[in-house]
Amino acid sequence: MIYTVTFNPSLDYIVTVKDFTCGVVNRTCDEIIYPGGKGINVSMVLKNLGYENTALGFLSGFTGEKIQALLKEKGVATDFIPVETGMSRINVKLRSNEETEINGQGPKIEEKHIQELYRKLDELKDGDVLVLAGSIPDVMPGSMYMDIMKHLSDRKLKIVVDATKDLLVNVLEYHPFLIKPNNHELGEIFNVTLEKKDEVVEYAKRLQGKGARNVLVSMAGEGAVLVTENGEVYKADAPKGILKNSVGAGDSMVAGFLAGYLEKENYKDAFAMGVCTGSASAFSEELATKEEVAALLEKNKYLFE
């Protein structure tokens, strides 16, 4: 079974305004509301690709109820922990001449809620996949990802971590199955600027040397790089297409990689699936569908030969 954890889920309210101007009344010309959060994005794309999974995390208030309802509509199984104080956040993304984001805070998660999450994680069985994705709310320990991996270190799980800086570096000693920084996040860890794939490979191998089994690095329009535990290195340019929505593209790459690996247990195929799934989401107003991914894979086979 696949499980995802999103510590701070959101309702993403995406509005388009022509020529947005501060200080006056602006009217939208397009609106979209969907459940957000990196782990939730992974869950939704996995479901789109035909892989059942369960989304874990914390929800609160009327916004939490709406997040749960929207996921149910999309067929995603959930097992969220209710939080009594506060509400799940609303993230506003304003599209106009420039793109602006206003992100909410989220509910007050307490120690009892964290312990309930551990009880749920204790139910995972050998062979299960766990995806830890996104930032940690300020009300929670900054060591949360590391604490979870330490807690589960006696299990034979495939744990995926998609996080930044210390959240990512601190888990490496527990040998995550996959980590997925982008090239900018990878560069921040080592205080360098990484723009070329060969440079990315060098520093991805450094993270591997610290304990990561597989390192997948997204590079937006420049493509992606994968360094595997078998010593293989894969590089690919990004498929061509019109960028419509960058939100969730990296999460979609994680979901596609997992789907590809679980189907064929082959890192090359997993890499191709990941790259095309991330691109399919970037080329769509919503997250990638199975049909969109299949079309990109067929059209871009040459990128992975």
Q: For residue 69, what pLDDT band results from cuts at 50, 70 and 90?
A: very high
Residue 41: pLDDT over 90: yes
Find out whether 287 and 46 touch, Cβ atoms under 8 Å: no
Helices 111-121 & 144-151, crossing angle to 10 degrees? Answer: 40
Q: Which domains does the chain have, with CATH numbers?
A: 1-104 (3.40.1190.30)
CA distance 89 to 87: 6
pLDDT in tens, 200-242: 999 999 999 999 999 999 998 889 999 999 999 999 998 999 8
Nearest CA-CA partner of 229 in 251, 250, 211, 252: 211
pLDDT in tens, 122-162: 999 999 999 999 888 888 888 999 999 999 999 999 999 99
Residue 305 has pLDDT above 80, yes or no: no
Sign of CA dihedral 2, 131, 220, 202: negative
- Can you tell me the distance from the alpha carbon of 296 to that of 305, in angstroms, rounded to the nearest whole number? 15
Residue 36 has pLDDT above 90, yes or no: yes
Find the DSSP H helices in the chain: 38-48, 61-73, 111-121, 144-151, 165-169, 183-190, 197-209, 249-264, 267-282, 290-299
Give yes or no for a contact between 108 and 137, defined as CB atoms under 8 angstroms apart.
no
pLDDT for the residue numbered 164: 86
| pLDDT tens, position by position, 6-30 | 999 999 999 999 999 999 999 999 9
pLDDT of residue 244: 84
Residue-wise pLDDT tens digits, 265-283: 999 999 999 999 999 999 9
* Mean residue pLDDT across the chain: 94
Between CA 187 and CA 148, with CA 209 as vertex, the angle to 5 degrees is 85
- How many whole angstroms separate alpha carbon 77 and alpha carbon 72? 7
Catalytic residues: 251
Q: What is the pLDDT of residues 289-302, one digit of tens each?
A: 999 999 999 999 88
